Structure 1
Amino acid sequence: MKWAIRDLLNPVVTRSLLYGADPFDLEAILKKIDNIKVRSGKQIQEVWINEWHAKIDRYSELRDKAEKEGNRISAREYAKMVTQCHYACFMINIEDLEHKTEIYNGLEESYKRYIKLCKNKVEYAEIDTKEGKLPAYIHYPDSGRKTNYPVAVTYSGIGSCKEELEMLAAPLNERGIAVITPDMPGAGGAIIHRNIKCGGKQLEAAFNGIIRFVKSHKKLDEKNMANFGLCMGGGYAFRATVKNPKAKVCVSLFPLLMHFANLDSIPVWMKRGKWSSYQYADDYLEGMKILEEGTHKADFLMVYSSDDNWMSPEASQRLLSKAAGYKESIHIQDKPAYVSEETIMHAMPVGEQYHWVKHIAADFIAARLNGGK
């Protein structure tokens, strides 16, 4: 065998670290994975989920104890750990849809406990679209009592959820910007609770609904707006900006547009299986072509990687060339650490560079929404 069993989890590990899972907890669980004698997907899944649930039990107990004793800071931090453990479970591509729903419900409920303990206000919202209501959160930079907050809408792609998007919201909140984190079609509560699948018409309805939502919201300034996306959400951010000429800025981190990408490099588990199939509309690939339509004149920042095996640098440059206004790009050439011959993929450059890229992205947005460039 040329690679360890744990290498099969490289994409899951990367996403878990990106969301803030403790690296020591992660390594302890991976060592349990290493002890599996037979390369069995079901056994890897069982060990991974059971070990994270043991940590969920521990951190939940610590959260409840701290909350009872009035130690709010500790309670908040333990509550976030519980959420991160649930998220690590959610990242596994489970074929059993009922089990997947159960796992997401745990993530959803633990996140609700966590945001009640946060200093800033995080408000649940539902965004009306022609295809159904999208669950979302609004992350205010403070108590949420002001009006005319500059606002950014964050996007990610298939397999994500609004709870994960907090990692995009946090650096913007620190810079005084309110952030909307929606469950886009095919993601999180939109697919699990509302059966809104990912496809061209569903995405177009989502973009239209989000624009209307911001326009009608008393606390958000539609004239001071950004779109910010990661992975497939980077393509969403571009299209959302095309559809909303009032948007001042667009940032796409490691964007993925399906028809720009090398489809042969997309792993089998994203093309087949109950969970994967459940997320996609019947005309998914054909419908996604709509993301390529149009251009925008908003200030545009794109970050891309030489080691993204879905979107080549040439494919990323195609997207950059579509922007008609001021634009900048950052070409990441660092080699990914979490790779193997079987699992190198789009998630690696995304996750491994985000810790420093996020500040450049947040500053780029804040400079334009807070009266800078």
Structure 2
Amino acid sequence: MKWAIRDLLNPVVTRSMLFGSDPFDVESILKKVDAIKVMSGKQIQAVWLGEWEEKAKRYSELCDKAEAAGNKISARAYAKMVTECRYACFMINIEDVENKREIYSRLEESYKRYISFCKNKVEYAEIETKAGKIPAYIHYPDSGRKTGYPTVITYSGIGSCKEELEMLAAPLNERGIAVITPDMPGAGAAIIHNNIKCGGKQLEAAFDGIYKFVKAHKKLDEKNIANFGLCMGGGYAFRATVKNPKVKACVSLFPLLMNFADQSSIPVWMKRGKWSSYQYCEDYLESMRVLEEGTHSADFLMAYSDDDNWMSHDASQRLLDKATGYKESIHIEDKPAYVSEETIMHAMPVGEQYHWVKHEAADFIAARLISNS
């Protein structure tokens, strides 16, 4: 065999660890995967899902015990661990849509319990758009009792969810900024519960709806906003900034524009299959060209890597060149660790550097939204 079975899980492991899964929990489950005698996608899936669910049950019991004893700090920590376990399950590309829906529902419920223990207010919202209701959370930096919060709108792409976007919200909350984490079309509850598929028309409706939501919200400052996205969401952030001249800053971390990307490098599971078909609209690729339209003059920060096998250096440069105002770039030179020839993923080269890149990104935004920051 040319490569280990666990290499098939590299993309899932990367995303799980980005979200906060404990490295030792990950390694213990990967050892169970290594023990599989005959390579089988269904067997790998069964072991991965089963082992994470067992850990989720254990951490849930610990959360119950801590809550009953009035130990809120421990309860919050254990609730987050449960959410991380359920997120690792959600990352598997399951063809059974109903099973995927059940897994996501468990993630939703565990996340709701987790945020109930958080010191800062996390408020659920449903954003009206022409494509349907976009579920979202507003992460306040404090109790949420003030008005005029500087606001960042975060974006991610296919296969993500608003719960995952907490990792973008947290460093901004620490800097006194409110953050909206929406389920964009084709992602999270938008697709699973509201059947809003991913396509250019749906995304444009989402951008418009989110801006109207911010404008109408009494606590958010529509004149003091930024857009922040990663992966496909990095492309969304750029296009959303094009659509609103009031935006002061835009940050795109390893942005992916599908029409810029090397189509031959995009894995088969993203192009066809029951789950992929469920997420995308029929004219997906053609309709996504709308994201390439227009330019913006907001301050722009982009992180990219030459080891990204979907967006080449030239493709990343094309996006950077589109910004007409002040701009900076972070060139990631570190070689990705969780990678093999067969499973190299767009998310890995820069995603593995997120632990330090997030602070540069958050400081870039804070310097433009908060006076004297």
* 2:64 equivalent in structure 1: 64
SS of the aligned residue for 1:126 comes to strand
Runs of 5+ consecutive residues of structure 1 not aligned to the other structure: none
CA distance in 2, matches of 1:325, 1:89: 41
* 2:190 equivalent in structure 1: 190
Query: How far does residue 341 in structure 1 lie from its aligned partner after superposition?
Result: 1.2
* 1:269 equivalent in structure 2: 269
Query: How far does residue 350 in structure 1 lie from its aligned partner after superposition?
Result: 3.2
* 2:371 equivalent in structure 1: 371
Query: How far does residue 372 in structure 1 lie from its aligned partner after superposition?
Result: 4.9
CA distance in 2, matches of 1:215, 1:329: 30
* 1:92 equivalent in structure 2: 92
1:16 aligns with 2:16: yes
Deviations 1:147-189 (A, max 9, x none): 0000000000000000000000000000000000000000000
> Residues 151 and 226 of structure 2 are in contact (CA less than 8 Å); yes or no, is this contact kept in structure 1?
yes
Query: How far does residue 2 in structure 1 lie from its aligned partner after superposition?
Result: 1.2
CA distance in 1, matches of 2:170, 2:284: 31
1:139-154 to structure 2, matched below 5 A, reads 139-154=139-154
SS of the aligned residue for 2:63 comes to helix
Query: How far does residue 38 in structure 1 lie from its aligned partner after superposition?
Result: 1.0
1:50 aligns with 2:78: no
> Residues 303 and 331 of structure 1 are in contact (CA less than 8 Å); yes or no, is this contact kept in structure 2?
yes
* 2:361 equivalent in structure 1: 361
* 2:2 equivalent in structure 1: 2
SS of the aligned residue for 2:352 comes to helix
1:181 aligns with 2:181: yes
> Residues 155 and 230 of structure 1 are in contact (CA less than 8 Å); yes or no, is this contact kept in structure 2?
yes
SS of the aligned residue for 1:181 comes to strand
1:249 aligns with 2:246: no
* 2:135 equivalent in structure 1: 135
Query: How far does residue 363 in structure 1 lie from its aligned partner after superposition?
Result: 0.1
CA distance in 1, matches of 2:143, 2:308: 39
1:287-366 to structure 2, matched below 5 A, reads 287-366=287-366
CA distance in 2, matches of 1:351, 1:308: 10
Amino acid at match of 2:121: K
Runs of 5+ consecutive residues of structure 2 not aligned to the other structure: none
Amino acid at match of 1:111: Y
* 2:40 equivalent in structure 1: 40
Query: How far does residue 22 in structure 1 lie from its aligned partner after superposition?
Result: 0.5
Deviations 1:113-154 (A, max 9, x none): 000000000000000000100000000000000000000000
Deviations 1:57-99 (A, max 9, x none): 1000000000010000000000000000000000000000110
CA distance in 2, matches of 1:38, 1:278: 30
* 1:259 equivalent in structure 2: 259
Amino acid at match of 1:117: F
CA distance in 1, matches of 2:300, 2:372: 15
Query: How far does residue 302 in structure 1 lie from its aligned partner after superposition?
Result: 0.4
CA distance in 1, matches of 2:72, 2:306: 44
> Residues 231 and 350 of structure 1 are in contact (CA less than 8 Å); yes or no, is this contact kept in structure 2?
no
Q: What's the % identity of the aligned pairs?
A: 82
1:274-285 to structure 2, matched below 5 A, reads 274-285=274-285
SS of the aligned residue for 2:353 comes to helix
Query: How far does residue 371 in structure 1 lie from its aligned partner after superposition?
Result: 1.8
CA distance in 2, matches of 1:362, 1:347: 19
Runs (4+) off by over 4 Å: none
CA distance in 2, matches of 1:263, 1:7: 22
> Residues 332 and 350 of structure 2 are in contact (CA less than 8 Å); yes or no, is this contact kept in structure 1?
no
TM-score by length of 1: 0.99
Query: How far does residue 37 in structure 1 lie from its aligned partner after superposition?
Result: 1.1
* 1:235 equivalent in structure 2: 235
SS of the aligned residue for 1:89 comes to helix
> Residues 237 and 251 of structure 2 are in contact (CA less than 8 Å); yes or no, is this contact kept in structure 1?
yes
SS of the aligned residue for 1:38 comes to coil
Count of paired positions: 373
1:66-81 to structure 2, matched below 5 A, reads 66-81=66-81
Amino acid at match of 2:260: F
> Residues 303 and 350 of structure 2 are in contact (CA less than 8 Å); yes or no, is this contact kept in structure 1?
no
CA distance in 1, matches of 2:141, 2:208: 25
